[in-house]
Structure 1
Amino acid sequence: MSSGHSNLIRLREVTLWRDDVWMAMDLMRCSVFAVLCQRGIPEEHTIHIACEALKGLNYLHSKGFIHRDIKCENLLLGWNGEVKLADFGLATRTTRRNRDRLGTSKWMAPEVIREQYYSEKIDMWSLGITIIEMMDRVPPHYLIKDEMELFSVILHEPSPTFTYSYPTMYMRGLVAWLLDEQPATRPSAKDVLSVSF
């Protein structure tokens, strides 16, 4: 995962010291989540962050990987507006027949919850949830603490939308596209980049 792509965090060095493994990575300013603790993110900045995340996802997917944990905590910001995807601890190959229920519950695509075979399209669902999180300051269904209740809501209610912010129709349309419940018609990162940005 230590690619040279500008939107993926770079692993610079790994060292074994005594019984500990030390990893040196790019130094970033903070996560998008840290910004959300202060305030919501305006739509124009949300678009920039989403576009940069899409570039990273497009590269990652083209190399045959699924991230599986896209959320504001794993989007890092640099001092000059750079955006990098981080935390590849749950990443897997697209060539593997994936159906493990892995990721963070509120960002999981329906097919992950159902433990069906899934593709890189799960990252697109998670990005849609992340866009809502950036503008609303919280992910959809954030008040639901019980995981089984949360999964039932995700599986049986319509795809979520914005609750606490007032995005443009463009942004509402983008999120609705990313949160298509059918993976076959959900866009890829390349699809979104070619149409929206």
Structure 2
Amino acid sequence: MSIKPNQIHHTMLQTIKQYDADMKPKLPFRVIRFSLLHVFSSDLLYQPFRPTVCSKYNLKMFSIGQPLGEGRFGTVYLAKYKLNNYVCAIKVLHKRKIERYNMTIQLKREVELMSHFNHHNVVKLFAFFDDETRYFLVMEFCKGGELYKLLQKQIRFSEPEAAKYVKQTTDALIHIHQRKCIHRDLKPENILLDMNGDVKLSDFGWSVRSDCKRKTCCGTPDYLSPELIENKTYDKAVDLWSLGVLTFELLTGYTPFGSIDFVNKQQVNPMLISFPVYVSYIAKDFIRKLIVKEPSMRMSLENCLKHAFLVKNVK
């Protein structure tokens, strides 16, 4: 059976892959129905699928377990899909709060962008549905939790450990950039880990399509690039700056400009970054080639993968 593009109406075709050996789903493909999205015409969503799969989801199809985390607009729960016992995470968002803070467009953007991703190092979105009072995002369960919490526990990572996380984050960024997406809020809190300790880039609430340059300031102050702080137009190079800040924090336990207030960050000179003595030359070089004030001069993600810091430390 084949499906034609004009048959796709408020649907997304999403490949569900095994997240670990003992939680392999019985059905490798799913047709997922959306209640917010407009019709997709992108070839990225035009994939073969099994016609026997249900295209309408509701909360009764899931067994809800313990809460995994709580945010401003709702809670994430551990859950199990009753049809095949597939373990997942369900983000439950309250419509009233979403509407009160004018976050409907941001939620729609997050779901739309995530529907285009299919990469081992990016959290997968399996389904999106709603009821009268709530929105539900059914997502990949990341058993290892936030990278930030692991960093807090260990204080800082060794260079091989940090390089592994940076390399996998780089792979994830390459994937989303190829799909014309800018993350805009890269930080340890938005990097999850699976049961094997592999990176799962998450939280695309601040992400945007990158077809053209933008001027909206968002993200986390410690990770903001100069062009964002100065309210200039920007592109995907903002993620390169954040990758450099992330690398510094993973190696040291703190951010390079964390002690500088937001206004004075406009005067930041990346060349004056102070490194602890235990940070190697190749790690410093990697970071300095990303934390560059001129966006066009930042090292590309492809060149990051070729840099000695990752090549030497990631086997």
Tell me whether the two structures share a fold, i.e. TM-score over 0.5: yes
Q: Which moved more, 1:110-119 or 1:48-57?
A: 110-119
Aligned to 2:289: 177
Structure 2, unpaired ranges of 5+: 1-113
Instruction: Compare CA radii of gyration and give the structure with the larger one.
Output: 2
2:140 matches 1:4: no
Alignment of structure 1 residues 19-168 onto 2, 5 Å = 19-28=133-142, 29-39=144-154, 40-144=156-260, 146-148=261-263, 152=264, 154-159=265-270, 161=273, 163-164=275-276, 166-168=278-280
Aligned-pair identity (%): 26
Kept after mapping to 1: 8 A contact 2:244/2:290: yes
Cross-structure match for 2:131? 17
Contact 1:111 / 1:118 at 8 angstroms: preserved in 2? yes
For the aligned residue pairs, the C-alpha RMSD in angstroms reads: 1.7
Shift of the alpha carbon at 1:32? 1.0
Superposed CA offset, 1:34-80 (max 9, x none)? 01221211111100000000001011111111000001111111111
What is the CA–CA distance in structure 1 between the aligned matches of 2:241 and 2:277, rounded to whole Å?
A: 19
Name the CA shift for 1:97/1:157 in 2 (closer, same or farther; >3 Å).
closer
Q: Is the 1:161–1:172 contact (alpha carbons within 8 Å) kept by the matching residues of 2?
A: no
Deviation at 1:163, TM superposition (A): 4.3
Query: Deviation per CA, 1:118-150, whole angstroms, max 9, x where unpaired?
Result: 111110100111111112212123344x432xx
Counterpart contact for 2:162–2:247, Cα < 8 Å: yes
Cα distance 1:188–1:64, how it changes in 2: closer, same or farther (>3 A)?
same
| Higher RCO (CA-CA < 8 Å; seq separation 6+) | 1
Q: CA deviation at 1:191?
A: 2.3
**TM superposition shift of 1:113:** 0.8
Deviating above 6 A after TM superposition, structure 1's stretches of 4 or more consecutive aligned residues are none
* Counterpart AA for 1:24: V
Give the secondary structure class of the aligned counterpart of 2:295: coil
Structure 1 unmatched ranges of 5 or more: none
Which one-letter code corresponds to 1:100 in the other structure? T
Structure-2-length-normalised TM-score: 0.58
Cα deviation for residue 155 of structure 1 reads 2.6
* Amino acid in the other structure paired with 2:187: K
Structure 1 residues 43, 195: closer, same or farther in 2, change over 3 A? Answer: closer
- Tell me how far apart the structure 1 counterparts of residues 245 and 277 of structure 2 sit (CA, whole Å): 14
Q: Would the alpha carbon gap of residues 43 and 161 (structure 1) be closer, same or farther in structure 2, given more than 3 Å must change?
A: farther
